[in-house]
Every structure is written in C-alpha cells, then in structure tokens.
Amino acid sequence: MAPEVAREKASDMVQAKGFAVSNTSKGGFFTVQTMVRVFAAVSTLAAICVMATSSQTIVLFGFTIKAHYSYSSAMRFLFVTNAIVSVSSVLSPIFLYRLRSSGSSPKSFFYLFLHDMVIMLLAISGCAASTAVGYVSRYGEEKMGWMAICNRVSKFCNHMTTAMVLSYLAFFSYFALAVMSSCKVMYRANDEYQSNERQAGS
C-alpha cells in the first residue's frame, strides 16, 4: 500500500506543478495579448490624428490647390480601416478578460483567432491601397502619364507616409496576435485531447 500511496502523491505533485505552470503561461499570454492590442490602438490613433490634421495648400498656375486625405478614396479607406482597427483594439481586451475568467476552451480561442485574422486582413487592405496611391503620388507613372505630386506638396506626402508607417505597425501587431492565437488554439486543443485520453484510460 505504501508504494501506491507514494505514487499517488507524486502524481498529485506533478499535476499541481503542471497546473501552476499552465496558469503562469496563461497569464503571460493574456498580458502579451493586451500589450500588443494597446500598441495597435495607439498606432492607429496616431495615424488617424496625423491624417486628419495634415493638409497643404499651394498655388499652381494661378490656381489654389489643397491636398487633404479626404480627396483620395484610398486614403479615406485607410482612415476608415484605421478607425475600425483602433476601436477593435480598444474593445478586444474586454473579450480577453472574459476569456481569462472563463474556462478558456479551444472554441473561445478560435473565435479570438478569427477576430484577429479579420482585423489583420482589414488593416493590410487599407495599407496596400494607400501604399499604391502613395507610390504613384511620390514617383509618378510615366507609362500611364501620371505625374508625381509629392514634389509640390512634400509636407503633406511626408505626413501621409508617417500615417502609413503607423498603420503598418498595427498590421504587424495583429499578424503577431493571429500567430499567438492560432498557437493557443492548437495547444488548448491538444491539452483537451490529452485530458480526454487520460479520463478514458482511467
């Protein structure tokens, strides 16, 4: 009987240690997730502020021309995507808190992964559209006869470049979040499978 009792105690100690490690890694996961989401929110908010406050007026051939993000459909699209990413980044920690308080099933982590993927794709679509227009604005397109305009409104173009860099930072943040969420889904599913196997074996 003594060896059996000793084995049971050892098993309980291993399970307790595993539970403690699991809780530590779980807390670290949610901490990193929250920090990255805050960083994405700050990046997109900064990009929105730069875009909204940037404008430049020049006189060309006697005509007054004003450059503003709202005059470009691609830049407006970037502005809207940044607003959506920012709001999502601010609200998603609420879901993280509820996820941490609940049982944290693989299904819940899958929803988190799905959310991060959608926001990531939305962010890169805005960045890609604005990058294409920004490239033509700065370098032109000789074959199409499109002239560069950044040599005339350099201040405005520099501000838009800054906004796009900030938007790309938000995209890479959500790319990292999507990778972390997908790994968590696999780990949780594997843990649940092993737990079911142990219960079936006992």
Distance CA 34, CA 28 (A): 10
Q: Pairing between strand 55-60 and 63-68?
A: antiparallel
Position 196 confidence tier, pLDDT thresholds 50, 70, 90? low
Which has more pLDDT, 73 or 99?
A: 73
Position 188 confidence tier, pLDDT thresholds 50, 70, 90? low
Average pLDDT over residues 110-134: 92
pLDDT value for 128: 95
Decide if pLDDT at 171 tops 90.
yes
pLDDT in tens, 39-69: 999 999 999 999 999 888 777 777 777 888 8
Kindly report the average pLDDT of the chain as a whole number: 79
Biggest CA–CA distance in the chain, Å, is 101
Position 142 confidence tier, pLDDT thresholds 50, 70, 90? confident
Please, which contacts does 85-90 make with residues 24 or more away whose CB atoms are closer than 8 Å?
A: 85/40, 85/41, 85/44, 85/119, 85/122, 85/123, 85/170, 85/174, 86/40, 86/41, 86/44, 86/45, 86/48, 88/115, 88/119, 89/37, 89/38, 89/40, 89/41, 89/44, 89/119, 89/170, 90/41
